[in-house]
Each structure stands twice: as C-alpha cells, then as structure tokens.
Amino acid sequence: MDGQATELNKTRLPQHLAIIMDGNGRWAKARGMMRTQGHHRGLEILRQTVRDVGELGIPNLTLYSFSSENWSRPQQEINDLMGLLKYFIRKDLAELHTENVKVRIIGRRDDLPDDIAPLIDEAESLTKDNTGLTLMIAFNYGSQDEIARCAAKLAQQAVEGEISPDDITPELIEKNLDTAGVPAPDMILRTSGEQRLSNFLMWQAAYAELVFIDCHWPDFNAQELHNAVAEYQSRDRRYGGVKEGAAS
C-alpha cells in the first residue's frame, strides 16, 4: 500500500501487536556499514515504534529483541547488543515510566549476565504499577524454551501433589507462560521479508494474523506501521469457525 490512503478502524485495532525486528545486519551491509551500526539504527526505530504504537492506541506491544539462539553470534556482536540493552534501559526507562508504560521482560532469567539481570529487575519494578501501554521485551527468549520451562514447572507441581495431571489445560499452561496476564497477540509483524516465526511466541500465535513486510527494521516507520495494521484489518478473523452462510 502506498500512502495512508486506508483509514484505520480504531475499533478494530489489534489488542496485542508483536514484532520480530529483523534486518538490521542486512540493512547495514547494503550500505557498507558494520552490523553493529544496523543494530544502533534499529534501537532508534524501536524507540519511535513504541511511541507510534502508543499513539495509535494499541495497548500491548511485544518486541523480539534477542533470542536464546542469538548467543551463537560473534562475541563482539553479542557484546554490542548487550550494551544496547543496557543503554536503552538506563536512557529510556525514566521516559517510559513518565509516559505510564509498563515494562516486562520475557525470556529465561537464570543464565543472564550479572550486569543485565539487575537492570531488568529495575525496569519491571519501577513500572509495575503503570497502566498505559504494556511493553514486553523478549530477551534471551525462545518459545520452545518457554514451553519447556512451563511444562517442567507444571510437572513439578504434579509430582508434589499441588495439581493433578488432569488439571493441566490450555488455560493453565497460558497462566504459566512468560506472557501470563497479557492477551495473546492478534497480530505478529515481521520485517525484512522473512516469513517464519523463528521460535517466537509459538503457543501464543495460535490465532494471530501474520503480516510480513519487505522493509528492513531500520527503515520501519509510522507509515509502515499504518499499512501493516490496515492489512491486519483487511483479514477475516474466524478463529477456526465460519460465518453463517459462508463456504467452509
């Protein structure tokens, strides 16, 4: 879609938008830059996107910032990404708090670097009572790991007699995932043209509308967001059912 020709229906906005921010490295390579420069540009876009999503009126936003598989990247790139996370929390946390944003970090916590874990705790503690946009940052996150941790937790509860195996339902699983208390994403957006979830919110994505766009994350802007939401609103969401009189 070109331009903001499509007027968005404010009554049909996604209640939870999740974004796979992909393409920083390719964006940098195409410009003869180092991959780290792409990540720095990507952080600027992250900041603006949080503002744009809040202004649009979407109440929940999840951003895939660092997967559990990303530790296999070159050490220098990992160091730079850790530095960007620390910089984002230290520089932007006060502003997010002032804007009533509630910050949550999802992902494995028990193996984080010692200088990262306290910052995550601080971000969540400071903003836990905020009532505006809920911003979830998926950091050291992998959906398979999340589901495995949930299964291990419920199995331990069953062994200890706290629950019966018959008590384990989809609803109970959802209450024990990292995203507990937040509605499942109704829209998942991925930049850079790749068309896969890459181990992101696989349980929660059961009925999400998947929107893939070609632009790399450092080129993402309010126009791209508008167009992606318009695409979402053009979809017929049936949740496995069919409308009366429609063909199956």
Other C-beta atoms closer than 10 Å to the C-beta of 167 total 11
Q: Sort residue 59 into left (φ over 0), alpha (ψ -120 to 50) or beta.
A: alpha
Residue 166 · residue 143 · CB < 8 Å? no
Other C-beta atoms closer than 10 Å to the C-beta of 95 total 12
Tokens of 196: 């896969």
Residues 6+ apart with CB under 8 A from 132: 54, 99, 100, 101, 102
For residue 29, what are the CA distances in angstroms to 36, 73, 188, 215, 248? 10, 16, 26, 14, 46
Active site residues: 22, 70
CA–CA separation, 42 and 236 (whole Å): 32
